[in-house]
Structure 1
Amino acid sequence: MAWFLNSSKPDWLTPDWLSEILGSDLAARLSVRSHPRARRVSLRVDSQAGVIVLVRPRRASEKFIAAFVAEKKSWIAKHAAQLDALPGETSVADGMTISLFGEAVTVRHAGQSRAGVWREGDILYVSGRAEHLARRVRDWLKAEARRELTQIAREFAAVIERKVARVGVRDTRSRWGSCNAKGEISLSWRLILAPADVARYVVAHEVSHLKHLDHSPAFWRTVAELCPGRENARAWLKRNGAALHRVVV
């Protein structure tokens, strides 16, 4: 499967090389990264960094990658335009309204309180010094996401008679969740910023891997059993998922 590798070629790609194929403006949106375990050349969109990432094996030949980039030029241009259309980054601050599983909640600084971070209705109160507000909100969001998503995962696992070994949350960029053969599920904490049905779909997807570690028809039937509205949720993520990474905390 590594027929395109050339052991005589070291790490050598340069911006000038990319500009010859893509033009300088488009080349500036492409970040080329080597990965020691990569077996093929691939592209992905990093909406948080605002770039398109080309991942390649360290010994991939110049000829092969040049042909790959030229072939994918339209794809790169399309997704670069989508990145340009994204809203700018939004930093969490006093008075800002954020969405928590589809519910609008306003952040309020409660500097004199020592109660940490707590929610009362549609207000999220944050104690402590103002310069620590964003970090405190982030920590609260991650903890709340872990609690809620773990509960949903265990609920879905019971339906298909499987057990979840552990649910963890991370700030992942390339995927919303993952599940391994040990029954360990990892989810993006930013799902708390999405509508509840969208978050439930992602959890249903990963829990279904407890039964099917593939994307076979049987797997998708299990997803549909757990989340009948999955197509709408997938469409929402495709349209709006990148915006979840534009919230800076």
Structure 2
Amino acid sequence: MTLRVPRAGGDPVLTLPRRVSLSEGRAFAEAQAEWLRRATSRQIVAQPVDAGVLLPVEGRPMRVTPFPIRGARIEGNSLLIPGNRPAAPVIQAFLRHLALQRLHSACDGFAADLGREYRAITLRDTRSRWGSCTSDGRLMFSWRLAMAPPGVLTYVAAHEVAHLAHMDHSPRFWAQVEALMPGHKPYRDWLRRHGNELLAWQFRD
């Protein structure tokens, strides 16, 4: 039996094996009442993306500002968006493009340092992981990394590229991450502490 509280909000999820009855599952959940209370208190309230909000872009709060332009761009502390289009899809596309640019640059450099090649980079809006690496060298990342400080995105890139050499989380793997990005631990810790804040942003109209 497992009990999970989504980091970005939502109801707790209880998963039961087939042989376990619903009453047993309910008793298990009730026994975890204190843990549930603490876990739900740490959830971040969902924040819709719209004009006027302060949205993090590469770790900096940007005021989303409608403007008579054709495409989104940053000017000073503002994220300018076309005033005649819905904000959320425009901003999501902007962040995806930014993430892909930054990740390609970081992964290319780390792969060259490692002496390995990756096959492709894809972006998704994942809930449980910030990146992954398949056995055939395909790298996947969350485009929400574009909202995190640049060092955090770079760390996740180093982490996944290191998997090209070590498909595990052994001491050798972590030594490889450190070799690719010395001093990576503060960025790893930032993601653990603040990752749920990135997941809380809702890109829906």
Q: TM-score range by the shorter chain?
A: 0.7 to 0.9
**Cα shift at 1:71:** 6.7
2:136 partner SS? coil
> Counterpart amino acid of 1:93?
D
Percent identity between matched residues is 35
CA contact under 8 A between 2:9 and 2:46: conserved in structure 1? no
Cα deviation digits, residues 89-139 of structure 1 (max 9, x gap): 2222223222222233332212x43x2222334332211525x11111111
- What is the aligned partner in structure 1 of residue 103 from structure 2? 149
Whose relative contact order is higher, 1 or 2, with alpha carbons under 8 Å and at least 6 apart?
A: 2
The unaligned stretches of length 5 or more in structure 1 are: 1-40
- Indicate whether 1:94 and 2:54 are aligned: no
Gaps of 5+ in 2: none
- Contact 1:44 1:174 (C-alpha < 8 Å) held by counterparts: no
Q: Which residue of 2 aligns with 1:191?
A: 145
2:80 alignment partner in structure 1: 125
| Residue 107, structure 1, aligned to residue 64, structure 2 | yes
Cα distance change on mapping 1:224 and 1:43 into 2, 3 Å = farther
Q: CA, structure 1 residues 128+172, in 2 after alignment: closer, same or farther (shift >3 Å)? A: same
Shift of 1:233: 1.6
Kindly state the Cα deviation for residue 79 of structure 1 after the two structures are TM-superposed: 1.4
CA distance in 1 between partners of 2:168 and 2:24 (Å):
29
Count, aligned residues: 202
1:159 alignment counterpart: 113
The CA RMSD measured in Å over matched residues stands at: 2.3
Q: Which residue of 2 aligns with 1:81?
A: 41
* Structure 2 residue matching 1:207: 3-state secondary structure: helix
Tell me by how many angstroms 1:81 deviates: 2.4
**Letter of the structure 1 residue corresponding to residue 172 of structure 2:** A
Letter in 1 for 2:84: R
Match of 1:246 among 180, 194, 200: 200
1:64-90: per-residue Cα shift (whole Å, max 9, x none)?
75676467555433312212xx3x322
Contact 1:169/1:188 (<8 A) preserved: yes
- CA-to-partner distance for each residue in 1:22-76, whole Å, 9 max, x for gaps? xxxxxxxxxxxxxxxxxxx44443223433333444x242387567646755543
What is the letter of the counterpart of residue 159 of structure 1? Answer: D
Secondary structure in 2 matching 1:197: helix
Name segments (4+ residues, structure 1) moved above 6 Å: none
The TM-score normalised by the length of structure 1 is: 0.72
Retained in 2: the 8 A contact 1:126–1:133?
yes
Counterpart of 1:61, as a letter, is V
2:94 aligns with one of 140, 154, 168? 140
For 1:181, the equivalent position in structure 2 comes to 135
Residue 45 of structure 1 aligns with which residue? Answer: 5
1:133-162, Cα deviation, whole Å (9 max, x unpaired): 111111111121122112211211111111
Question: Which amino acid is 1:166 matched to?
Answer: A
Shift of 1:172: 0.6
Cα contact 1:47–1:242 (8 A) shared by 2:
yes
Partner of residue 20 from structure 2, selected from 57, 61, 74 = 61
Q: In 2, Cα distance between the equivalents of 1:201 and 1:45?
A: 26
Which amino acid is 2:98 matched to?
Answer: E
Aligned equivalents of 2:118, 2:24: Cα separation in 1: 42
Equivalent residue number for residue 186 of structure 2: 232
User: Quick one: distance in 1 between partners of 2:111 and 2:31?
Assistant: 42
